Chain A
Amino acid sequence: MAKWGMVIDLDKCTGCQACTTACSMENNRLPGENWQDVLFYHEGTYPNVKLMWFPRPCMHCENPSCVSVCPTKATYKDPHGGFVLMDWNRCIGCKYCQVACPYGVRFYVDEKAPVQPDIRTVFPSADGRVWDPPYRGPQDDPGRGIGIQPHGVVSKCTFCYHRVSKAPAGIADLDEDIPALKEYVPACVRTCAPKARFFGDLDNPESTVNKLIADKSGVRLKDETGNKPQVYYLSGGAAASVPSLRSMTPSDPA
């Protein structure tokens, strides 16, 4: 079975937020509650200051702290593909997973609206969900945290499970440039204009994602946490690079 992973080439990312918008449309996100976000920040002080940005989905960690802390097993690691998913029928909204995620990619649905007007009151839901958007994606799978979420639960990026899980078995890469595969590609990857995002099987040595990680010294965010993200970042690509882990561990021998 595949272990899906994403590679984001920071040298190509323009910070255009097309991925954020595509994810929001695909997954009916509430405005401002972006499963995928590009975080802008600055380095240095005036006059030597630089505007920078950083695209960030859920890392679908190999060793996810959100999963290990969840007291109800509402958040779980799918053994078929390595997706970290949510079961909205089990979640009690304790937010322990949010506290335990080092990447800040989880959202409690009932917080104050970060963007006004509060779209939840503009398009109220009649069926117990958080809102009823005028355009609503067809997919609805509360057991995997897909669709319009109910009240009182946490939500997160699904690695577009509803697309990726339908891909033909044995595929090494889900590349939007291959017409037969494009429907299975995560929305944020498919929309990325400069092709900074790649999606493929990390367990397949022939996959483009694996080659990119090897060739351009892919690194994982905050690797010191031990969460082992399945999202890798490329930057530079020189052979001399910053080691990601302090020491080798049995599950990560290299």
Chain B
Amino acid sequence: MNTVKTKQTGILSVALIGFLVSAGLVLDNLAQYGHAALNTNNLGISWGFPIVVYDYFLLTSTGLAMLASLAIVFGGETFRPVIKRAVWLALAGLAGGVAVLFLELGHPLRALWAIPFSFAFSSPLYWKVMCVSFYVLSLLILMARMLKSHWTIAELRINGIVTLVLALGVTSIAGVVYGSQSFRPFWASGDIPIAFIFESLLGGLAFIFFFTYLAYAFNPAALPTGVKRLFTGPLPRLLALAIFVHLLFVLARMASGLYGNLEGLQVWHHVATSPLFYAEILLGLVLPLVLLMRPGTRNNPWVQMLASFLVMNALLVSRYEYILGGQLVPMFKGAWAPALLSYFPSPTEWLMLLIAIFLSNTFNALGELFLGLSSEGDPSARVEPEPLGAQWGEGGERLAS
């Protein structure tokens, strides 16, 4: 067994043990106290940290799926080294998120039949669940087709397009769930689905950097040539661009929130002055952006590991602030809540985050060990990528291909 495989086995063991311990503790707490083990309440905090975790993992999953399918549909051979890993990570992340959702729902098993057979066409959640079901199916088909040793990007194209449409669908419907709550102005806005799509893409990019390095036990020298070419080529630039766009969305919402008079937007004064928000913006987004924009640091593997790790954390904070922020202002005076509502995750809710992390990592390590996520398909099927810009002449004119 080579070193990388040994380390993956180590990761699998740690993740599996972590999952079993955290799941055991959570199930024990839920058996004892029911959902009173969570810090949600009937005063106005209906969706707490478990929903934050679920949404975070779901949107990361769709981001990874978008990355993989965009690579298949538009990216071509340059992106081949990360496609398979991104697809499997999308499935692994989703498993972690859905596990937490099932622990949060009052009747998770009932949901399995009650939602699909309700035909509740007016509910965004109905469409979200239906879309997620087909999305999982599409990812599984994609993964299955990449398990054989010969696969070409061309033969995955139709699958890629379907996956892309479904991933965009899931992400935008997730945005509509919040964006349509017009009486919660902190959430509501027509462009929330678009913001969710960019946020997902950012998550997908950060995760693919981090988990590719993890696959090679954080040893940059072990990266295959194709991955190195990608990680020193377009991918870090894309990550920087995605950070920049997400930052724009957050800061634009903050500016209109701070200056807006609408009832409910007052929460921005609370959010934008919290240390967590500063940490998210400065450490989680601005620092990685600067590091990735500087040519001297952009291609440094350690910088990329750090940047992706910081972004992954910033996105969790961002999701927390968004979901909770929309619920902190009481609906109207006298709801037995004279000021902003308060909320902090309970120990059980923190453990649910660990469940999602460990379960996703278990699946991911299994994939690394048994599904050959590093394999890029049949090298003979590969077409060497054209250098970027090769199809353009000196003066910018398009050369005949």
User: When A96-B123, A225-B182 are in contact, do A90 and B110 touch as well, CB less than 8 Å?
Assistant: yes
Q: Which of A197-254 contact B (CB under 8 A)?
A: 221-222, 224-226
Partner of A108, one of B106, B125, B333: B106
Total residue contacts A-B, CB cutoff 8 A: 122
**A147-B113 Cα distance, complex, nearest whole Å:** 25
Q: Is the CB of B335 within 8 A of A73?
A: no
Q: Which of B287-335 contact A (CB under 8 A)?
A: 327, 330-335
The yes or no answer to B108 lying at the interface (CB within 8 A) is: yes
User: When A41-B338, A95-B47, A110-B34 are in contact, do A152 and B106 touch as well, CB less than 8 Å?
Assistant: yes
User: When A91-B106, A92-B108, A225-B182 are in contact, do A69 and B125 touch as well, CB less than 8 Å?
Assistant: yes
Q: Which residue of chain B has its CB nearest to the CB of A76?
A: B120
The yes or no answer to B158 lying at the interface (CB within 8 A) is: no
Q: Is the CB of A153 within 8 A of B181?
A: no
Q: Which of B11-63 contact A (CB under 8 A)?
A: 34-36, 39-44, 46-47
User: A72: shortest Cβ distance to chain B, in Å?
Assistant: 4
- Classify the secondary structure of B's interface with A: loop
User: When A70-B123, A90-B118, A225-B183 are in contact, do A39 and B334 touch as well, CB less than 8 Å?
Assistant: yes
Q: Is the CB of A41 within 8 A of B334?
A: yes
User: B344: shortest Cβ distance to chain A, in Å?
Assistant: 14
**A225-B264 Cα distance, complex, nearest whole Å:** 14
Q: Is the CB of A54 within 8 A of B334?
A: yes
User: A125: shortest Cβ distance to chain B, in Å?
Assistant: 12
- Could you say which residues of chain B place their CB within 8 Å of the CB of A72? 110-111, 114-115, 118, 120
The yes or no answer to A94 lying at the interface (CB within 8 A) is: yes
Q: Is the CB of B41 within 8 A of A111?
A: yes
**A102-B263 Cα distance, complex, nearest whole Å:** 13
- Could you say which residues of chain A place their CB within 8 Å of the CB of B336? 39
**A212-B303 Cα distance, complex, nearest whole Å:** 70
**A104-B330 Cα distance, complex, nearest whole Å:** 9
Q: Is the CB of A92 within 8 A of B107?
A: yes
**A54-B331 Cα distance, complex, nearest whole Å:** 13
Q: Which residue of chain B has its CB nearest to the CB of A68?
A: B122
Size of B's binding interface in residues, CB under 8 A: 41
**A91-B115 Cα distance, complex, nearest whole Å:** 10
User: A112: shortest Cβ distance to chain B, in Å?
Assistant: 4
**Contact pattern, B 164-201, Cβ under 8 Å of A = 1, otherwise 0:** 00000000000001000111000000000000000000
User: When A68-B123, A69-B123 are in contact, do A41 and B333 touch as well, CB less than 8 Å?
Assistant: yes
- Could you say which residues of chain A place their CB within 8 Å of the CB of B147? none
Size of A's binding interface in residues, CB under 8 A: 45
**A5-B275 Cα distance, complex, nearest whole Å:** 48
- Could you say which residues of chain B place their CB within 8 Å of the CB of A225? 182-183
**Contact pattern, B 69-113, Cβ under 8 Å of A = 1, otherwise 0:** 000000000000000000000000000000000000111101100
The yes or no answer to B223 lying at the interface (CB within 8 A) is: no
- Could you say which residues of chain B place their CB within 8 Å of the CB of A91? 106-107
- Could you say which residues of chain A place their CB within 8 Å of the CB of B108? 92
User: When A72-B120, A111-B40 are in contact, do A152 and B107 touch as well, CB less than 8 Å?
Assistant: yes
User: B358: shortest Cβ distance to chain A, in Å?
Assistant: 24
Q: Is the CB of A104 within 8 A of B44?
A: yes
The yes or no answer to A40 lying at the interface (CB within 8 A) is: yes
**A216-B41 Cα distance, complex, nearest whole Å:** 37
The yes or no answer to B129 lying at the interface (CB within 8 A) is: yes
The yes or no answer to A84 lying at the interface (CB within 8 A) is: no
The yes or no answer to B126 lying at the interface (CB within 8 A) is: yes
Q: Is the CB of B120 within 8 A of A92?
A: no
**A108-B44 Cα distance, complex, nearest whole Å:** 11
Q: Which residue of chain A has its CB nearest to the CB of B48?
A: A95
**A221-B332 Cα distance, complex, nearest whole Å:** 10
**A37-B106 Cα distance, complex, nearest whole Å:** 25
**A154-B47 Cα distance, complex, nearest whole Å:** 13
The CB with the most chain B CB atoms within 10 A, among A41, A72, A111, A226, is that of: A72
Q: Is the CB of B42 within 8 A of A222?
A: no
The yes or no answer to B124 lying at the interface (CB within 8 A) is: yes
**A131-B34 Cα distance, complex, nearest whole Å:** 13
User: B334: shortest Cβ distance to chain A, in Å?
Assistant: 3
Partner of A53, one of B43, B114, B332, B334: B334
Q: Is the CB of A71 within 8 A of B42?
A: no
Partner of A99, one of B46, B106, B330, B338: B46
- Could you say which residues of chain A place their CB within 8 Å of the CB of B182? 225-226
**A136-B40 Cα distance, complex, nearest whole Å:** 28
The yes or no answer to A33 lying at the interface (CB within 8 A) is: yes
**A54-B35 Cα distance, complex, nearest whole Å:** 30
- 17 pairs of residues in contact across A and B, judged by CB atoms under 8 Å: A39-B335, A69-B123, A70-B120, A71-B129, A72-B111, A72-B118, A90-B114, A90-B118, A91-B107, A92-B114, A95-B47, A98-B42, A100-B181, A108-B46, A111-B36, A111-B42, A222-B331
Q: Which B residues lie at the A interface, using CB under 8 A? A: 34-36, 39-44, 46-47, 105-108, 110-111, 114-115, 118-120, 122-126, 129, 177, 181-183, 327, 330-336, 338
Top-3 shortest CB links A-B: A93-B106, A152-B106, A39-B334
Since A72-B120, A90-B114 are in contact, a sample of 11 more A-B pairs with Cβ atoms closer than 8 Å, ordered by chain A residue number, is A69-B124, A71-B118, A73-B120, A90-B110, A104-B43, A108-B106, A111-B35, A112-B39, A112-B41, A154-B106, A226-B182
